[in-house]
Structure formats: C-alpha cells, structure tokens
Amino acid sequence: MSEVLSEACGLRFSYAEGLPILDGVDLEIRRGEVLLVGGESGKGKSTLLRLLLGLEKPLPDMTGSCCGQVFLFGEDCWDVPVSRVRELRQRTGFVFQGNALISHLSVAENIAVPLHYHTKQTDREIDETVHRWVDNLLLTGHEHKRPAHLSLGMQRRAAMARAMAMNPEILFLDEPTAGLDVKNSEIFLSLVGNLRALSNVAILMVSHDLASARFLDGKIQLLMDGVLREPKTYGDISDSDDPRERELVRDDDDTRFE
C-alpha cells in the first residue's frame, strides 16, 4: 500500500463557543489518490482542509485534552516546531477558494514566489519553470497581469500554477469549481486531471460539486454531522438510501462532464 501523505485522527473542532463542526474526523490520503470531501455548505469542509495543513489549530477543550491529531508526511503538525511545519508545507500545494494570489504581484511573480523562497534555482531557471506552468495552465499572454485584471477562471488557474510550481506530492483544493461556469469548471478539472496523470500528485479536494470526483476518477467521503462517512463513488451516493446524501447529488447538475 502506498504511503500516507496526510492524515487526521479523531479530529474535533469548533469555532469559539459554538457546537463542534468536526466531531471526531478520521481521514487519510495516500500517494496518488484522489479524494473529494463533500457535504453541505458551512459544515466544516474548508476548515478541515486548513486543519490538515496546520493553518488552523483547535483550542484545547475545558478538560485541557487534545482535539485529535493531524499528520503531514507522517509528522504530527501540532507537535513539531512551526518552522518544521513550513518545511513540510513546501511539499504540498494549496488552492484557496478565493485564490489568495498576492494582489500586488503579477501572475508570473506569484508563481515565482515559492521558487525564489525555497529553491536554489537561478533567475533563468525560475523563469523557465514559471513559463512552463503558465503554458500548462493556459495562461500564456496573461502572465504579466495582476490578479485583479484576470477572470475568476484565470485566477483559479494562476493559483493552481503557483500551487504546482514546487512539484507538490499532495494538492489541496478548496472548492475549486466554486463560482466557475460549466465550461471553466470543465477546463479547470481537465487541467487538474492532466497534471495528475503527469505527476501522480495526490489530490484532496473539498467541494459541494460531487461530480468533480467522477471527472477525476476519485472517491468521495461526505462530511455530515461533524464526521466523515465511508468512501463512496458518485453512483453509490446517487443511489443511497439516505435522502440527505441523495439531496447532495440532486443539488449537482449530474449531466455535467458527460
């Protein structure tokens, strides 16, 4: 069995004094896998992704006890120094729902940021890497524009190029098709599929758009009532006995990507 890249054990999380939105989540993703975490909006999918990368940390509960564990490449994210977590994150890519490109930098400069920061590549090598990803993500001609001057679809692809620039072993995608029309969703997902075929990168995607998993040939785990359900296929969910699961598929336009 291939190596586990990211793992959560008994993860519990709540915002301030509210009810827990994650109440004992267990999850693991292995090298080369594609996993989509689906569920209703506002139920903690994006928070789960942030927790897995150590961007959020649950506060200890009233008894001071731990709120589960998160492992990245086998190391406990909350038990190693921040500097070590940052080293581990260099082996990951993250595409935020809002894209989160650095607004005062151009697309090319955004893609170059992690390369300048983490690698010993020369300026020329960095330029080559940047242009390769600009081409791969269909951004040629737009590389000198700032994010605000791009369409949402282009911004999403620029964020993807930046996430892929360091050749990550695992890619975290937060609602990658949110706000995109069918055509742009299709373009984006087909690019992700191509990149996956080339690099064997593992993909952990959270989305309410369950059809994305079918497009990328991945499995789906639904986050409901604070816990993750067993992995299923898109067909299993659409034929499920649980009306809440079927409702998630009905929300989807299941004629897409066919």
Partner 1 sequence: MRSRAGLPARILEWIGGAWSASLPGQAVSLTWRVAASPFRGRRSTLRQILDVFLQQTYFTAVEPAPIVFFLAVLIGGVTLVEFTTLLPRLGTSNVLGEVMVLAIVRELGPLFTAFLVAGRSGSALATYIGNMKVAGEVDSLEAMGIDPVRFLVLPAVLGCTIGLTCLSLLFTAAALFGGFFLAQGLVVLFPGSLGLETGFLEYVGRVSSALGATDLVLIVFKPAVFGLVVALLACLAGLRLEKSPHEVPQGTRSAVVQSFVSIVILDGIFATMFVIPGLAGVLP
Range 172-201, binding partner 1 (CB under 8 A): 172
156 binds partner 1 (CB under 8 A): no
The count of chain residues that interact with partner 1, using the rule CB under 8 A, is 26
Closest contact distance (angstroms) between CB of 116 and partner 1 is: 6
User: Among 3, 75, 86, 242, which residue sits at the site for partner 1 (rule: CB under 8 A)?
Assistant: 86
**102 or 198: whose CB is closer to partner 1?**
102
Closest contact distance (angstroms) between CB of 86 and partner 1 is: 4
Provide the CA 236 distance to its chain's centre, in angstroms: 23
**115 or 223: whose CB is closer to partner 1?**
115
124 binds partner 1 (CB under 8 A): no
80 binds partner 1 (CB under 8 A): no
Closest contact distance (angstroms) between CB of 250 and partner 1 is: 31
**53 or 248: whose CB is closer to partner 1?**
53
CA distances from 157 to 6, 98, 143, 164, 209 (A): 24, 12, 11, 10, 18
Q: Which residues bind partner 1 (CB under 8 A)?
A: 50, 53, 55, 83, 86-90, 92, 94, 96, 98, 100-103, 113-114, 116-118, 120, 162, 166, 172
